[in-house]
Structure 1
Amino acid sequence: MEDSSGDLLMEERDELMVPFAHTDEDPTFRTAHFLKPTLGSIQTHSAAFPLLSNISSPESDRRSKNVIFPGWRGTQEGWEEWVDELSPLYGDTWKKAGIFDAILASTYQPRRTKFQTQFIMKLVEKWCPETNTFMFSWGEATITLEDIMVLGGFPVLGQLVLTPVESEEMLALEEQLRKIHTRISHEKGQCARESAWLEHFKGGEDKTLEHEAFLVLWLSRYVFPGNHNIIAKDLFLIAINLSRGILIALGPAVLASIYSDLGLFKKFLQPLSNLGTGECASKNTQLSLCSPLRLVQIWAWERFPTLCPKPNLILLGKTRSARWFEVNKWVAPNDIQKALDSAKDDFLWRPYAPTLTNWNPKKLYQEHEQYIIVTPNIDSEVETLVRCWRTSELVGFDCKEQYLPHRVGMQFGFDQDVPGFVERWNGHTDEFAWNHYNRPIRDEKLYIPARLFEADVTQRYLELWRAHQLKLRNGIGAGNDALPHDVMQQASADVLKDDDMIAEKQSDVESLSSSQKNNIPTLVNNKLFPLQKDDPIVEKQAGKDIPSSSVENDDENAEAVPEKEENTNGDDPKLTQEIHETFGTFAAGKEESLTEVAEICGENGKKFPNRLVMLRNELEIRNIRIGRLEKIVGQLKKEKCKNSILEDQRK
């Protein structure tokens, strides 16, 4: 029988968890829930955190002026009236097809301003095409299927956009639409434009094709926009299917187009010296981005309170996107950069969880955590959650993009562990990738986080993230032109060795005997204690700490320490020296000292402060940083010496 454990959606395990926004707070040992794959759940190499190219430069600022946004359009004149006319007639059909909210949202399109263009550019500087996520200095985030569904109203369930159901009746309707498209093109002496299409069908005498024509315009302008405001004939069959109430998964295709354009934008802003022949290697090259990037702007406004304008109140019957209609806020580019870099405490991981007037969160946001048993007839709303939470390949028009929600689990209320590697499906057909997106749920039960639960990260994730930030601050990145190419190659190899070393240290802990593990300290009421079977621990469930009432009584059998001799800062000279020597040895790579640390903790843990564990992590990272700097300095000296010899030879 095939082992499907690697295809499970989530896992539950006891972990030492740290609040990501407040890493100075004490860790908590509790039951945590993670989206898979994580480094601990599948024994493959970790995707970890790629090093981004630094594209912020005067050259990239100039090149950004050559970017146009045909996919970012305001509401067309006469469109809102047409929606109001057809909504009473076809509203039920739109709901059946899952597009009712998306059509209403099209009447509230935020206009693109100079500030919004600069805002998007600053976000693109943080974009990582390898993971389809934003790599901020304080954490990783991205626009997900949840955002596409809530802000855009697009369904994530249904049939593939590239293979709509066809019948003789539908093919006949498509032929009629093609003939009208051709006639409009001849009358106007150009391709059928959106304005001419609306003028021909809105309020016309022939109502037989009005609904289909309406949906064609909606798809062409607000869902899959192209260049030059032209009606796209390849959308006719999709519109006809939607007009029959057939559910089509527009959400994955829309998100795929957004991911693709963000990647193109990032590549376009690269310095010309970093690009090969034929890769946008001209100062006069223009980049056209046709995806609905307005959703990225709204996504950012929802999550960065310091950068968003004052939102509108949502009127009864309106969609969430109405909050951002005709609002704006000017922020200088440098201030945008600073705000993005300092948003650690302000970033809203779950902006849709709080209730708003006239906007009712769906099943995604329940008051209390839930466990749902997976059955063959699982609820469609639960199936929707699975699509938002599960890694997959997004199939769009002319693109396939990887979807990696396990990297941003906190956006869904899940705890975050080191993300595992996910294989690409580029070599497979669209149908194959789509079947993988549509694969059955393998989990026996699903966990749904509480609406206001504040997720944390594992200690291991925090360590790797800090190491990643040290690498960036030390100049190890593809965009740092100050170092020679061979030095950068060596530095990259050192980075991989560092990651391997951290993984080895993790395995060292796993290989300890039970008695040794029991001596590794745990946190109880902000103090370090050896972890014993009967020790009470603080468990954090549904966002609440539930301390055991018996914790204080556990010290009754411990050796009494006079209150005046209590050392809350942990500066017992003898013990401090012993701990520092041991941890310094461990950070230098002597694995046997791990046992010494466990013994010291078991012997003196009740007297030593709870900064012990953090001290080890800080020393390890500091040692890694110093070692890497020494290697880079050595390579630079060699390079300088080589250049001096060559110069002497020329003389």
Structure 2
Amino acid sequence: MGKLNPMELQLNEDESKIEEKLYKAFRGRTASPSGQRARFSSWISAFKKSSNRAVRRVAFFSMWMSKCIFNCEPVQFIKPFTFGLAIKLSKGMSLPLGTLFLGCLYLELDQLHYDELASSPYHIVDSGVNIVMLQAFAWERSRSYINIGKSIGEICRTKRVILIDNPDGEDWFFGFKHSLPLLMKWMTLKVRSFPVISSLDTISDFIWMPYAYIADGFFCSSPFPCTRPGSQMFNLGEDNKVLNFLLITSPSLIPCLNSLGFSLVIYNPHRVSRQFGLDQDVPVANDMEYDIQEAMRPLLHSLAMEYWREREENVLVPSKAENKLCRMTC
């Protein structure tokens, strides 16, 4: 969830000047999206010596989103539609990037499925998928790989994070409220000596459970708004985390953003419920029908409460068992 609607971004005069500098490095608003100036290497060269720290920061956020969040075609190139988002993000304003990323990933996986159907022994179909998150997801759930990720000590030795002295003895890192995100466990990891393909082909090697094991020093946010045992009933106004829980467990249409603009993709929570420790319910038809503006409402802090109150009054959050699996559906 975020505070700003990415579809309604408005830039002030100073922000518009920064945007023009980005387009100038991109060689104009009509430049080719896969031209030389749009390459990551050219982008770094254009801004690494800039004396304007605000512009450098925005250029970094634009490159980060182009590579890690919106890794659509053309890949390994700067996406101009990220400029406005990068400007707002550089000023500390929150955006629903997690949901936009998930929408883009679902869209890419759907396209990969269609490409596989279109291919044959006589035709080669080139597909593109943001493999970083899928790769980390597969490693974290593989019995062969779960213990080979980097430790906190190994990450500290790379000097990519700053360790802060803590009188309580726990590791604190600059820029993180808790320990390091679980994704950093797989940062720059090389696994050439491990049988990747054979492990993925073995069903018994895959862990069909939520994140029951988290290595020391890392954390993975829980979607549950409570930590006490037993099922609990919440009113919508009691806890903001209830809104996130509803967003995760409710059928919906989620927005995605690419070079063609905004679009919607179907989100069916029964497909991923086991990853959150919930029983996988009988699949139901996702008959949600609304436009992109309505799809944005549950993603914005100012509109989410009103959106859910039109649909729910109370929320039953299922209990957690000792093995971190929930034994009842919500």
Shorter-chain TM-score above 0.5: yes
TM superposition score normalised by structure 2: 0.72
CA distance in 2, matches of 1:335, 1:303: 11
Q: Report whether the alignment pairs 1:383 with 2:243.
A: yes
- 2:166 aligned partner: none
- 1:371 aligned partner: 232
CA distance in 1, matches of 2:146, 2:279: 27
Q: Report whether the alignment pairs 1:435 with 2:302.
A: no
TM superposition score normalised by structure 1: 0.39
SS in 2 for 1:269: helix
- 2:215 aligned partner: 356
- 2:325 aligned partner: 454
Q: Does the 8 Å contact 1:417/1:457 carry over to 2?
A: no
Q: Which residue, out of 283, 294, 302, partners 2:132?
A: 294
Q: How far does residue 390 in structure 1 lie from its aligned partner after superposition?
A: 2.0
SS in 2 for 1:454: coil
- 1:283 aligned partner: 123
CA distance in 1, matches of 2:245, 2:18: 35
Asked which structure has the greater CA Rg, the reply is 1
CA distance in 2, matches of 1:266, 1:400: 17
Matches within 5 A, 1:96-495: 156-182=1-27, 190-225=36-71, 226-227=73-74, 229-270=76-117, 272=119, 283-287=123-127, 289=128, 291-306=129-144, 310-315=148-153, 316=171, 317=173, 318-325=180-187, 326-328=189-191, 329-331=193-195, 333=197, 336-337=200-201, 339-340=202-203, 342-343=204-205, 347-351=207-211, 353-362=212-221, 364=223, 366=227, 368-369=229-230, 371=232, 373-376=234-237, 378-397=238-257, 398=261, 399-425=263-289, 428-435=290-297, 438=304, 439-441=307-309, 442-450=312-320, 452-456=323-327
SS in 2 for 1:394: strand
CA shift digits 1:457-482 (9 cap, x unpaired):
89xxxxxxxxxxxxxxxxxxxxxxxx
Matches within 5 A, 1:539-618: none
CA shift digits 1:140-196 (9 cap, x unpaired):
xxxxxxxxxxxxxxxx4444433334434433332232223328x89xx83332112
Amino acid paired to 1:238: L
CA distance in 1, matches of 2:106, 2:116: 16
Cα pair distance change 1:383/1:294, threshold 3 Å: same
Q: Does the 8 Å contact 1:194/1:231 carry over to 2?
A: yes
CA shift digits 1:31-73 (9 cap, x unpaired):
xxxxxxxxxxxxxxxxxxxxxxxxxxxxxxxxxxxxxxxxxxx
CA shift digits 1:431-467 (9 cap, x unpaired):
1333366432514244153274334589xxxxxxxxx
Q: Does the 8 Å contact 2:152/2:217 carry over to 1?
A: yes
SS in 2 for 1:209: helix
Matches within 5 A, 1:505-524: none
Q: How far does residue 212 in structure 1 lie from its aligned partner after superposition?
A: 1.3
SS in 1 for 2:98: helix
Q: Does the 8 Å contact 2:320/2:327 carry over to 1?
A: no
CA distance in 2, matches of 1:206, 1:440: 43
Cα pair distance change 1:382/1:332, threshold 3 Å: closer
Cα pair distance change 1:449/1:198, threshold 3 Å: farther
CA distance in 2, matches of 1:367, 1:306: 33
Q: How far does residue 396 in structure 1 lie from its aligned partner after superposition?
A: 0.5
CA distance in 2, matches of 1:332, 1:216: 32
Amino acid paired to 2:150: N
How many residue pairs match? The answer is 283
CA distance in 2, matches of 1:422, 1:267: 20
Percent identity between matched residues is: 21
Cα pair distance change 1:456/1:374, threshold 3 Å: closer
Amino acid paired to 1:209: V
Q: How far does residue 282 in structure 1 lie from its aligned partner after superposition?
A: 6.7
Cα pair distance change 1:202/1:191, threshold 3 Å: closer
Q: Does the 8 Å contact 2:319/2:327 carry over to 1?
A: no
Q: Does the 8 Å contact 2:210/2:324 carry over to 1?
A: no
Q: How far does residue 410 in structure 1 lie from its aligned partner after superposition?
A: 2.9
Cα pair distance change 1:367/1:314, threshold 3 Å: farther
CA shift digits 1:564-616 (9 cap, x unpaired):
xxxxxxxxxxxxxxxxxxxxxxxxxxxxxxxxxxxxxxxxxxxxxxxxxxxxx
CA distance in 2, matches of 1:242, 1:192: 21
